Structures are given as C-alpha cells and as structure tokens.
Amino acid sequence: MSAALAPEAYVAGIVADDLDHRVQMVSLHAAILVWQLTRRQERPLKRLPQYIHTRVFDGFDASLRETGVGDASIARKVRKMGEHYYGLGQATAACLSGPESERISALSDMLKRNGVTMPGQEAELAGHIAALADTFEAAPSEVFLDGQAPWTTFPATNTRGVAKV
C-alpha cells in the first residue's frame, strides 16, 4: 500500500490523484507482488496471495468509510473496486508473464486501455512497473518469506531500473 500510495507518481502528474486512480495503483502494485509470489516454489509464498487480496479489500472498505460513504452503498462500491482490482491484476500478470523484451510495450498498452495514467504518461509508469518486476524476480525468496518486498517509489527508477540522478 505504501508504494502504491506514495505521492511521487501523483505529484509528477503521471497518475491523477483521486480515489479511482489510487485504487488502480494499489491494484497494479498488488498484482506485481501476487504475480511474483505465485511464481515462487515455496508453499508459504504460494498461500500469501489470498491474504494480500483480503488486506487490499479491507483497505478499500476502510477508505470508503473514511470518505463518508454510507453502509448501504459500501458493498456495491467495494464490488466495483474489486472488479477493477482483479481485472487490472490479471492484465498486469499477463503483461509481466510475456516476453521480457515486450513488457514495457505491453504494460503501456494495458495502462492506456484502462485509463490508469494521464494521457501520454503510460511509458513512464510501465517502465517503473517493469523495473519493479525485474527487482522482484531478482530478489531471493527469503526476502518475501521475511515479510519484505523490494519496493521502490515511482521516480527511484527509470524505464530499465537504473537509478535516476
């Protein structure tokens, strides 16, 4: 949640700073983590995605309550958020599971189709997502087993994972 909601991408004008786009950013970040965990061989890591989904949905519910949404409409709104969450998650996983040389292009197209970024900013966010995926792939399973993940905030990397100066 911290990486998805870090202000850098919003301040840079890559993603609009509103509830819908924050949901999309949480969805993208959760998708990267779930995608990586399901690729690992350790049984405890393969069980974590369900807990991640539950935590994300609890966060959606809490954020709606904080904005004053009434109890009667929360279930409907969480359901809509859930549809976006799972849809973006599947699309992100498909892009990350394709050829590494096509990740940024596939991610850019997916981000554009789903209106995640501000117009013309898809490649910036796609590069960041691809760099995160590379970092997650390179991390040993022990990092994840310890409850950590190698998150970086948006401007920390450029489109190939190299630190910006």
Query: pLDDT digit string (tens) for 78-129?
Result: 888 999 999 999 999 999 999 999 999 999 999 999 999 999 999 999 999 9
Strand partners, 157: 163
Q: Characterise 115 by phi-psi region: left (phi > 0), alpha (psi -120 to 50), beta (else).
A: left
CA distance 22 to 41: 31
Q: Other C-beta atoms within 10 Å of 65: how many?
A: 12
- State the DSSP code for 162: P
Q: Is the pTM of this model over 0.75?
A: yes
Could you tell me the pLDDT band of residue 66, with boundaries at 50, 70 and 90? confident
**Of residues 87 and 64, which shows the higher confidence score?**
87
- The pair of three-digit structure tokens given for residue 154, joined into one six-digit string: 């948006």
